[in-house]
């Protein structure tokens, strides 16, 4: 049986609820693939250069530290480069530099979290829609029993119940991968946020004091 025939059979079994669930599965899969591609292209898992640059900067080799994180696409390295540049230049006060780094870091994380909300809705709504389809199917099956009276066939009744339960199965089949993917994507963003916070904190707490830094403005 081809994929198209399988989808048609599911639609004939569960009706519009199955159609909505299948549409949600396509949307969810698209979001997962798009976010995975975005994370890979932005190299959010790359912390090695940022960590090495912090070590070099704290060790006094500021030129090598700046060179290591310049021109990179990794968010952690870009934020580290901005922090190193601000600390090395000493043109703004530490509180203002911290505020700017916080703003940039939050912007990076917000951009990475974009699109996760629809995936969260799919993960939450899919099983509920499946349950709704089951309830509607059971109502229809019992209405058929009422119409036929005592002459209803057990095979017909079991077939109606099977059709009703199929929507719950499809709903769970859509929700489970969505929940797993959402958890994985959010964990990567959270890990990035923790790493960026750790790198910036190290720079501010362990870097040598630059006495040329002006007073707070």
Note the pLDDT tens digit of each residue in 106-144: 998 999 988 899 999 999 999 999 888 888 777 777 776
Look at residue 4 in the predicted model and tell me its pLDDT.
Answer: 56
8 Å CB contact between 170 and 131:
no
Cα 15 to Cα 138: distance, rounded to the nearest angstrom? 13
* Residues 6 or more apart in contact with residue 176 via CB below 8 angstroms: none
121 φ, ψ (degrees, to nearest 5): -65, -40
Cα 55 to Cα 21: distance, rounded to the nearest angstrom? 50
Look at residue 46 in the predicted model and tell me its pLDDT.
Answer: 85
8 Å CB contact between 203 and 57:
yes
Positions of the chain with pLDDT lower than 50, given as ranges: 211-217
8 Å CB contact between 79 and 196:
yes
Look at residue 96 in the predicted model and tell me its pLDDT.
Answer: 87
Look at residue 136 in the predicted model and tell me its pLDDT.
Answer: 79
Which pair of tokens denotes residue 207?
A: 């870097």
Cα 172 to Cα 89: distance, rounded to the nearest angstrom? 55
- DSSP output for 138-174: HHHHHHHHHHHGGG--HHHHHHHHHHHHHHHHHHHHH
Q: In the chain, what's the furthest Cα-to-Cα distance? A: 95
């Amino acid at each position: 049986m081809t994929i198209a025939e399988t989808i048609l059979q599911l639609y004939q079994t569960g009706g519009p609820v199955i159609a909505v669930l299948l549409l949600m599965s396509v949307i969810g899969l698209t979001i997962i693939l798009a976010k995975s591609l975005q994370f890979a292209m932005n190299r959010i898992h790359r912390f090695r250069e940022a960590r090495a640059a912090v070590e070099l900067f704290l060790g006094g080799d500021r030129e090598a530290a700046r060179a290591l994180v310049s021109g990179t696409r990794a968010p952690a390295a870009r934020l580290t480069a901005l922090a190193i540049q601000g600390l090395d230049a000493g043109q703004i006060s530490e509180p203002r530099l911290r505020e700017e780094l916080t703003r940039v870091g939050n912007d990076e994380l917000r951009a990475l979290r974009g699109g996760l909300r629809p995936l969260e809705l799919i993960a939450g709504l899919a099983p509920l829609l499946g349950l709704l389809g089951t309830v509607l199917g059971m109502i229809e099956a019992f209405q058929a029993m009422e119409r036929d009276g005592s002459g209803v066939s057990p095979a017909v009744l079991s077939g109606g119940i099977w059709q009703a339960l199929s929507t719950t199965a499809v709903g769970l089949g859509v929700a489970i991968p969505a929940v797993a993917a959402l958890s994985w994507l959010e964990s990567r963003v959270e890990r990035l946020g923790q790493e960026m916070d750790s790198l910036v904190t190290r720079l501010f707490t362990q870097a040598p004091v630059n006495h040329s830094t002006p007073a707070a403005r």
